[in-house]
Amino acid sequence: MGWRAVEPHGSPCARMKPRQGFLCLFLCLCAAESVNGGNVLVWHTEGSHWINLKPILDSLVDQGHGVTVLFQNATLFINPKDYSRYKHHLFNVSITHEEQQEFFDEFLQFSLHDMDYLSYVEIYLKLYKLMDKDTGLVVRMCDGLLKSPSLMEELRKSKFDVLLADPIFACSELVAEILDIPLVYSLRFSIANVMERLCGQLPAPPSFVPAAIVKMTDNMSFTERLLNLLFYMSQDALAVLTWRRYDAYFSEILGKPTSFCEQMGKADLWLIRTFWDFEYPHPFLPNFKFVGGIHCKPAKPLPKDMEEFAQSSGDDGIVAFTLGSMIKNLTKEKSNMIASALGQIPQKVFWRHSGDKPDTLAPNTRIYDWIPQNDLLGHPKMKAFITHGGTNGIYEAIYHGVPMVGIPMFADQPDNMMHLKSKGAAVIMDYNTMQTKDLVEALNAVIRTPSYKKNALRLSKIHHDRPIKPLEEAVFWIEFLMRNKGAKHLRVQAHDLTWYQYHCLDVFAFLLAILGVVLFIFVKICKFSIRLCCSAFNSKHKKE
């Protein structure tokens, strides 16, 4: 395990020789203290989670704050050049890149294929196994930083003002507790909102708040409410089981009995990466801020060849198609089926596709390794977006008011698309079973039926019509924490209650006991009175 401090491009540290590394680290950490404004520490994240953090960090840097990102050497999706604008510290972990990739592939296999043929019980057991494996990996990752007193001491010396983290990547809570600084989360969701509910005390009545990834709306039938409740309960049990490893680790590191959830509950603020354009309205707390669409921005002009291709579409317009950065290759059969469908619509199609060129590719479709997704979505000729339903992509579509055809695959994607379908802005396809005809029909429906565009524009209006832009709001609250050393006045007292106290079960039990005693005494008195009457009646009768 080791520690490497890296300064932003062009800094004196970048020009130092390797042997000057330690001096560089010292200088860098000292420099962090002298930065204008605050001093922000950022816990490591991965993949699309990072995409949402980046605009916040850029904005913090623009505001004159020092930003230091922690990252580990087994990262799967992060390229060190992503950190070029910030100070960043690499900590070495005992996990290999291959181990991480293997776990990720296993998770993809489970989400994309296994779930189609496994029974509910098997899915549940497999999910437990996966989550348990994940906590094991995470704990080993945390060791890389937390079990290195020298590294922790360096962080302590840097006097950070706030720690920004995605709670999906555990242990930020320990760093914040040890450094005694406010903790602010940036979170899209946890399965069935276990983190938000159990640890953040977010109220979520199962009758109208569908659990995250359950693929139901807020308008539920009796059966759906039953399933929603059971899903909540089963996921709570799963969380309690898998978090036991974290509980032990957290207690060990802090040297006192504690739990993962207790430490999460100390977070000052939760910046949730959605908004009411996407969410079903639900109860929330003063320290939950909905800042969905942080990364969205106006479209820039397309590269020349793309613009020419777009203009060649005439009045028919264009369609953008991507399945995100995590799906690298489709099977040949699937690619051909999709290409064949795309060839049957009059629009020009921009397809982000990294596999072989499909045999059925039609002239109206062009394949790209990468597409400027936001610029395409904001193009005046844009008609529809074919998407896997990742939050970042759909938020760009909402921002620009583009209706969608969703081909969701795993994690929150199916649930995301259900949100948009229920709001009338999308059609959902089944990745495993869809045929050429289905995709053509879905595209024609979304492009030709005015209600889809109208609803997409309605969501876009809601997205834009708010008192403060999401990025500004996120930065405001991080700066608030630095100015005020936390935001304890926004944290509900429910954190100090047990679950039965929260639901007043002890009070109800007491009231029931009182009622029981009163009824018991009442019945006794009645019986006694009746017996008294009867004996008086009998003795009178006998006398007579």
Query: Interface residues with a second copy (CB under 8 A)?
Result: 203, 205-208, 218-219, 222, 225-226, 229, 276-277, 280-287, 461-462, 465, 467-468, 472-473, 476-477, 480, 483-484, 489-494, 496-497, 501-504, 506-507, 510-511
Helix (H) or strand (E) holding 67: strand 66-72
β-pair partners for 183:
163
CB count in 10 Å sphere of residue 499: 9
Amino acid at 531: R
> How many angstroms separate the CA atoms of 274 and 258, rounded?
31
Main-chain phi, psi angles of 20, to 5 degrees: -85, 10
> How many angstroms separate the CA atoms of 402 and 488, rounded?
40
Main-chain phi, psi angles of 190, to 5 degrees: -120, 155
Helix (H) or strand (E) holding 68: strand 66-72
- Tell the smallest beta-carbon distance from residue 203 to a second copy (Å): 5
If the CB atoms of residues 71 and 395 are measured against a second copy, the closer one turns out to be 395
For 352, half-sphere exposure in the C-beta direction (CA atoms, 13 angstrom radius) is: 19
- Tell the smallest beta-carbon distance from residue 228 to a second copy (Å): 9
If the CB atoms of residues 448 and 503 are measured against a second copy, the closer one turns out to be 503
- Tell the smallest beta-carbon distance from residue 148 to a second copy (Å): 37
- Tell the smallest beta-carbon distance from residue 281 to a second copy (Å): 5
β-pair partners for 468:
none
If the CB atoms of residues 358 and 486 are measured against a second copy, the closer one turns out to be 486
> How many angstroms separate the CA atoms of 296 and 325, rounded?
18
- Tell the smallest beta-carbon distance from residue 426 to a second copy (Å): 16
Closest by CA to 481, choosing from 29, 90, 165, is 165
Tokens of 501: 């106290």
- Tell the smallest beta-carbon distance from residue 509 to a second copy (Å): 11
If the CB atoms of residues 169 and 280 are measured against a second copy, the closer one turns out to be 280
If the CB atoms of residues 89 and 491 are measured against a second copy, the closer one turns out to be 491
If the CB atoms of residues 101 and 219 are measured against a second copy, the closer one turns out to be 219
Tokens of 532: 């008294």
If the CB atoms of residues 234 and 251 are measured against a second copy, the closer one turns out to be 234
CB 152 within 8 A of CB 144: no
- Tell the smallest beta-carbon distance from residue 506 to a second copy (Å): 7
